[in-house]
């Protein structure tokens, strides 16, 4: 995936938040553009930057965008429902499937 930051010369949202230099090798930059800081701060709040970096580094580059999207999805539900997160949705879907 092409680095999006190169066009703006801005550090990515993760590096900006973490106050560090955003290099060409930054594992966050393709998925956390500077114009959406909330996406990173939310993911960092739930999973922590170091865990996300570790996960991304363990994945093939072609899988990283899907991984970030699924993390962001889990985060969205966890922030909305701190007790059950997206597991609440799984319960609802499983219940609906049993009913049909």
Task: For the CB of residue 90, give the shortest distance to a second copy in the complex, in Å.
Answer: 6
Residue closer to a second copy (CB basis): 35 or 97: 97
Contact 15, 29 (CB under 8 A): yes
The number of beta carbons lying within 10 Å of the beta carbon of residue 26 is: 18
Residue closer to a second copy (CB basis): 36 or 91: 91
Closest CA to 47 of 15, 74, 16: 74
Residue closer to a second copy (CB basis): 23 or 51: 51
Token digits of residue 61: 């580059």
Task: For the CB of residue 32, give the shortest distance to a second copy in the complex, in Å.
Answer: 17
């Amino acid at each position: 995936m092409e680095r999006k930051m190169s066009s703006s010369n801005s550090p990515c949202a993760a590096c900006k938040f973490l106050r560090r230099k955003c290099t060409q090798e930054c594992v966050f930059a393709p998925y956390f553009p500077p114009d959406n800081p909330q996406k990173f701060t939310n993911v960092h709040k739930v999973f922590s930057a170091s865990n996300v970096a570790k996960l991304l580094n363990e994945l093939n580059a072609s899988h990283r965008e899907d991984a970030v999207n699924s993390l962001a999805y889990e985060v969205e539900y966890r922030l909305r429902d701190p007790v059950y997160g997206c597991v609440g949705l799984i319960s609802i879907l499983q219940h609906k499937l049993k009913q049909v």
